[in-house]
Structure 1
Amino acid sequence: MSETPPGAQLERTQLSWRRTLVSVTAVALLLARLAAVHLRDLAAACALAAVGLLWAAAVALALRRMRSVATPIGRELPWMVALILLYCVMGTLLLVS
Protein backbone atom coordinates (compact mmCIF):
# COMPACT_ATOMS: atom_id res chain seq x y z
CA MET A 1 0.00 0.00 0.00
CA SER A 2 1.47 3.34 -0.98
CA GLU A 3 1.86 6.10 1.53
CA THR A 4 0.32 9.50 0.74
CA PRO A 5 2.57 12.52 1.04
CA PRO A 6 1.92 14.86 3.96
CA GLY A 7 -0.67 17.49 3.15
CA ALA A 8 -2.22 15.52 0.28
CA GLN A 9 -5.39 14.82 2.22
CA LEU A 10 -5.82 18.52 3.05
CA GLU A 11 -5.31 19.44 -0.59
CA ARG A 12 -7.87 16.85 -1.75
CA THR A 13 -10.37 18.16 0.79
CA GLN A 14 -9.90 21.74 -0.38
CA LEU A 15 -10.26 20.66 -4.00
CA SER A 16 -13.47 18.82 -3.20
CA TRP A 17 -14.88 21.96 -1.54
CA ARG A 18 -13.97 23.92 -4.67
CA ARG A 19 -15.79 21.38 -6.86
CA THR A 20 -18.80 21.64 -4.56
CA LEU A 21 -18.70 25.42 -4.87
CA VAL A 22 -18.62 25.18 -8.67
CA SER A 23 -21.63 22.83 -8.57
CA VAL A 24 -23.57 25.14 -6.26
CA THR A 25 -22.78 28.08 -8.53
CA ALA A 26 -24.01 26.18 -11.59
CA VAL A 27 -27.26 25.22 -9.84
CA ALA A 28 -27.77 28.81 -8.65
CA LEU A 29 -27.27 30.14 -12.18
CA LEU A 30 -29.72 27.60 -13.61
CA LEU A 31 -32.32 28.44 -10.96
CA ALA A 32 -31.83 32.16 -11.57
CA ARG A 33 -32.31 31.68 -15.30
CA LEU A 34 -35.39 29.56 -14.71
CA ALA A 35 -36.84 32.19 -12.40
CA ALA A 36 -36.09 35.02 -14.82
CA VAL A 37 -37.65 33.22 -17.78
CA HIS A 38 -40.73 31.60 -16.25
CA LEU A 39 -41.83 33.82 -13.39
CA ARG A 40 -43.54 37.19 -13.36
CA ASP A 41 -42.02 40.43 -12.05
CA LEU A 42 -42.39 40.21 -8.27
CA ALA A 43 -42.08 36.44 -8.08
CA ALA A 44 -38.96 36.53 -10.27
CA ALA A 45 -37.39 39.23 -8.11
CA CYS A 46 -38.10 37.26 -4.92
CA ALA A 47 -36.79 34.03 -6.43
CA LEU A 48 -33.63 35.74 -7.71
CA ALA A 49 -33.03 37.32 -4.30
CA ALA A 50 -33.51 33.96 -2.56
CA VAL A 51 -31.16 32.21 -4.99
CA GLY A 52 -28.58 34.95 -4.48
CA LEU A 53 -28.80 34.73 -0.70
CA LEU A 54 -28.56 30.95 -0.68
CA TRP A 55 -25.61 31.04 -3.07
CA ALA A 56 -23.82 33.62 -0.90
CA ALA A 57 -24.41 31.46 2.18
CA ALA A 58 -23.04 28.40 0.39
CA VAL A 59 -19.97 30.35 -0.76
CA ALA A 60 -19.33 31.62 2.76
CA LEU A 61 -19.69 28.13 4.20
CA ALA A 62 -17.40 26.57 1.58
CA LEU A 63 -14.74 29.25 2.06
CA ARG A 64 -14.85 28.83 5.81
CA ARG A 65 -14.56 25.06 5.47
CA MET A 66 -11.62 25.39 3.07
CA ARG A 67 -9.80 27.61 5.56
CA SER A 68 -10.38 25.30 8.49
CA VAL A 69 -9.97 21.86 6.97
CA ALA A 70 -8.64 20.38 10.21
CA THR A 71 -11.93 20.91 12.08
CA PRO A 72 -14.52 18.13 11.93
CA ILE A 73 -17.44 18.59 9.57
CA GLY A 74 -20.01 17.55 12.17
CA ARG A 75 -20.53 21.12 13.36
CA GLU A 76 -21.26 22.45 9.86
CA LEU A 77 -23.31 19.52 8.60
CA PRO A 78 -26.72 20.84 9.74
CA TRP A 79 -26.13 24.11 7.86
CA MET A 80 -25.12 22.28 4.70
CA VAL A 81 -28.17 20.01 4.93
CA ALA A 82 -30.40 23.08 5.41
CA LEU A 83 -28.90 24.74 2.32
CA ILE A 84 -29.38 21.62 0.23
CA LEU A 85 -33.01 21.29 1.36
CA LEU A 86 -33.67 24.95 0.58
CA TYR A 87 -32.23 24.46 -2.91
CA CYS A 88 -34.48 21.44 -3.41
CA VAL A 89 -37.54 23.38 -2.29
CA MET A 90 -36.67 26.33 -4.52
CA GLY A 91 -36.05 24.07 -7.49
CA THR A 92 -39.35 22.32 -6.93
CA LEU A 93 -41.24 25.60 -6.62
CA LEU A 94 -39.63 26.96 -9.75
CA LEU A 95 -40.42 23.84 -11.75
CA VAL A 96 -44.01 23.62 -10.54
CA SER A 97 -44.94 27.23 -11.23
Structure 2
Amino acid sequence: MTRQQPLQKRFYVGVNQQYQGNGYQYDNNALDFTTANYATFQNFVPASAGPGMSFSELNVLHLTDVDKSIYYRITFLVTGTAANALYTMIAERF
Protein backbone atom coordinates (compact mmCIF):
# COMPACT_ATOMS: atom_id res chain seq x y z
CA MET A 1 0.00 0.00 0.00
CA THR A 2 1.29 3.44 -0.78
CA ARG A 3 -0.80 5.42 1.69
CA GLN A 4 -1.23 4.91 5.38
CA GLN A 5 -4.59 3.36 6.17
CA PRO A 6 -6.79 4.92 8.85
CA LEU A 7 -7.70 1.52 10.28
CA GLN A 8 -7.34 -2.01 9.03
CA LYS A 9 -7.63 -2.90 5.34
CA ARG A 10 -8.14 -6.54 4.35
CA PHE A 11 -7.70 -8.07 0.91
CA TYR A 12 -8.79 -11.60 0.10
CA VAL A 13 -6.44 -13.37 -2.26
CA GLY A 14 -6.80 -16.60 -4.22
CA VAL A 15 -3.97 -18.05 -6.27
CA ASN A 16 -4.63 -20.63 -8.99
CA GLN A 17 -1.61 -22.40 -10.49
CA GLN A 18 -2.04 -24.67 -13.49
CA TYR A 19 1.18 -26.57 -13.99
CA GLN A 20 2.88 -27.24 -17.30
CA GLY A 21 2.24 -30.97 -16.95
CA ASN A 22 -0.82 -32.33 -15.23
CA GLY A 23 -1.94 -30.74 -12.01
CA TYR A 24 -3.04 -27.57 -10.36
CA GLN A 25 -3.05 -25.89 -6.97
CA TYR A 26 -5.33 -23.30 -5.40
CA ASP A 27 -4.59 -21.34 -2.22
CA ASN A 28 -6.68 -18.76 -0.39
CA ASN A 29 -5.46 -16.27 2.17
CA ALA A 30 -6.23 -12.85 3.57
CA LEU A 31 -3.79 -9.97 3.79
CA ASP A 32 -4.27 -7.35 6.45
CA PHE A 33 -2.77 -3.89 6.24
CA THR A 34 -2.81 -1.64 9.32
CA THR A 35 -1.32 1.70 10.30
CA ALA A 36 1.67 -0.27 11.63
CA ASN A 37 2.44 -2.36 8.52
CA TYR A 38 1.02 -0.52 5.49
CA ALA A 39 4.53 0.19 4.15
CA THR A 40 5.84 -3.34 4.76
CA PHE A 41 5.99 -5.68 1.75
CA GLN A 42 3.47 -8.54 1.89
CA ASN A 43 3.59 -11.28 -0.70
CA PHE A 44 0.20 -11.94 -2.27
CA VAL A 45 1.28 -15.45 -3.20
CA PRO A 46 1.57 -17.80 -0.20
CA ALA A 47 4.85 -19.69 0.34
CA SER A 48 3.03 -22.99 -0.30
CA ALA A 49 2.66 -21.95 -3.96
CA GLY A 50 6.39 -22.41 -4.55
CA PRO A 51 9.29 -20.14 -5.46
CA GLY A 52 8.24 -18.97 -8.92
CA MET A 53 6.75 -19.84 -12.28
CA SER A 54 7.86 -22.54 -14.70
CA PHE A 55 7.67 -22.19 -18.46
CA SER A 56 4.15 -22.84 -19.83
CA GLU A 57 2.66 -22.51 -16.35
CA LEU A 58 -0.51 -20.44 -16.02
CA ASN A 59 -1.10 -18.53 -12.78
CA VAL A 60 -4.22 -16.54 -11.94
CA LEU A 61 -4.36 -14.22 -8.93
CA HIS A 62 -7.83 -13.33 -7.62
CA LEU A 63 -7.78 -10.20 -5.44
CA THR A 64 -10.92 -8.95 -3.72
CA ASP A 65 -11.46 -5.67 -1.91
CA VAL A 66 -14.77 -6.31 -0.16
CA ASP A 67 -15.00 -2.83 1.34
CA LYS A 68 -15.09 -1.28 -2.14
CA SER A 69 -16.81 -4.24 -3.88
CA ILE A 70 -13.93 -4.61 -6.35
CA TYR A 71 -12.59 -7.83 -7.81
CA TYR A 72 -9.29 -8.00 -9.69
CA ARG A 73 -8.13 -10.95 -11.79
CA ILE A 74 -4.47 -10.93 -12.76
CA THR A 75 -3.31 -13.63 -15.18
CA PHE A 76 0.37 -14.57 -15.57
CA LEU A 77 1.87 -16.82 -18.23
CA VAL A 78 5.50 -17.43 -19.12
CA THR A 79 6.38 -19.10 -22.43
CA GLY A 80 9.49 -19.74 -24.46
CA THR A 81 12.87 -20.85 -23.16
CA ALA A 82 15.32 -19.54 -20.59
CA ALA A 83 17.23 -17.81 -23.40
CA ASN A 84 14.11 -16.33 -25.01
CA ALA A 85 11.32 -16.00 -22.44
CA LEU A 86 8.06 -14.13 -22.93
CA TYR A 87 6.24 -12.98 -19.80
CA THR A 88 2.58 -12.08 -20.17
CA MET A 89 0.44 -10.36 -17.53
CA ILE A 90 -3.20 -9.36 -17.97
CA ALA A 91 -4.91 -7.37 -15.21
CA GLU A 92 -8.70 -6.99 -15.18
CA ARG A 93 -10.98 -5.12 -12.79
CA PHE A 94 -14.58 -6.14 -12.33
> Same-fold call, TM > 0.5?
no
| Structure that is richer in strand per residue | 2
From the CA coordinates, give the structure whose radius of gyration is larger: 1
Q: Which has the higher contact order (CA 8 A, sep 6+)?
A: 1
Tell me the TM-score normalized by structure 2: 0.31
| Structure that is richer in helix per residue | 1
